[in-house]
Structure 1
């Protein structure tokens, strides 16, 4: 049996998307979600396998800009909607789509590809490395107390309509992206994702709610969340389901967390995607009752290695030759000299000089945003030091003060 690999036309997008829905369990996407996805996804940046009249494989790529260490906004393909029909497993369809997609990303001049994986074991063989983590919390707010910084009482917290407050919330989000590697800089239309609220996605909770933090009339933070009422024989045991929380200063951040802790008729605050260095960990009285779990977040793939490494900043000066293995994108393979000048600008050029470190592009992707240590990867046998002292130098240079984090999925 043979299939045809090609991009869907605009008129074929609905059928193409239907293949994705079946692969992810057959639950129909809400009309409002489907409409937004169709508006954001460019059919010419999508590929799929077609078997006769049926789509049996899908893969898309949003246009993104990702913040990297140093604050630069690097063009990236946001890989999404990847699926293979259960009837066509183990026939190389996924590999062929990944091959076509990375060739396309290179032709578009985007040095990075990024994704969030439905299953973590899928994408390593295509050169993607897990570069960010996401922290999940389930806080017992009946027993955990908060210690807040001075100035918290001066912050006003007020309810607001998520739709009417969207512009103010997006302004806060936009001011924070430069300081957090892994942040997705909002592209046109993506602000709508922040208030997308289909009933079938509420998990028994309320419609999306929003509060704003304000000081002197200026919005300095926001939180969006749902309330899921629950009761037992002893009384209310409702849950607060946090969606987003962002703030421009410590007092505003604390005021928002305090509000969420104090909502009547609730005793659990559930957070599904927070940065692993979230300030709330240092405000709580008992971190053990916060149900802390960390899982993989965004995966990074260097498509144009030289351009990608030159785009980011480095914490310390570096002069190193990297021996890079990349079987899937062979244009990246070989030796590269990475240096920084007195002003911190990076240069990454091919060289015939002896290598100092040997690693694959997957490890470079994992370390690229500054959250994964090359020293730790070396301890796992995934990076080899070829010149004494090179590992410590490069690991320090790639590290960053702030943990990378992707605030939302795609």
Structure 2
């Protein structure tokens, strides 16, 4: 029987690098996020190791000296897991494992593990299983460390190579089976989308843990699972919403994250099809997060990758109730005022002011400014609806009066 207390308190160390492309501030931000990922997965991070390098070491990600420092700490503090804040190559993984002699996870593996925990439906589980198999395939050799001394090559092909190839074949076969299963489910989902008729489709997109599911629950009066953890929602949820008698479909989608594993983008293709086929996007942002502008950039990048960057979009700045700013004493003539010192009103007058009617500020949790949000969404949906059904556009005045 699994001891749940031990599972939830698995001790880990986090390892990252400062490079020419990732300064100290950015490295700290990524490690903060990695710590949240570890917490979401059921672990606890007890120490961070950061090394300044021009670029990650091709063999061990960090230098040998720093790796030995990590090993000493792991051994003396009985740490079971080391988590690296980047995807490790198969060679790096194998080399690091030999030195540290503990469980090694990289950012990709950790995210895949969280997805595996969170997947509820057969479809989501199939998508995650495919991503895991694609990640595992080039890394299978590390499973056969007991055969290290049996070298392959001409005339020296021993049982080690045979077992590895057998294992690879099993995983390849599994990938093939999962892909076929996804194709079948994809066709079923395509039919479902087609059967929804010509109702306008609105998709909620955004970084993970920004309140999309909470907003979905409030607007659609439904009960979509929402939790203060990363990737609380994996399964796409579609609800019919009516604002001022105008019906449309609202979709809650999986949250994005920086350094999103390519395997997940590929395996969650159909889930992302909900975004591709949407008529209008609501880009939800946690404005209380200090890195919310980076989150916006990351989401826009992924929208570009899935060919959805040119869709009509409205920015929904959520969690205004949690927004905080640093204050400067009136007598302080040294400290330079930056974005960190902006009040919410000052922030609205910054680059956001150029967005005009394409942004709204709300708190989904405390239902602040939701009427303004609904009114803005109604106007955008109405524009699309009129183009699609011009013959009944005269009804909108009646809708507004009745609503």
| TM-score after normalising by structure 2 | 0.28
Structure 1 or 2, whichever has the larger Rg, is: 2
More helix, by proportion = 2
More strand, by proportion = 1
Relative contact order, higher structure (CA 8 A, sep 6+): 1
| TM-score after normalising by structure 1 | 0.28
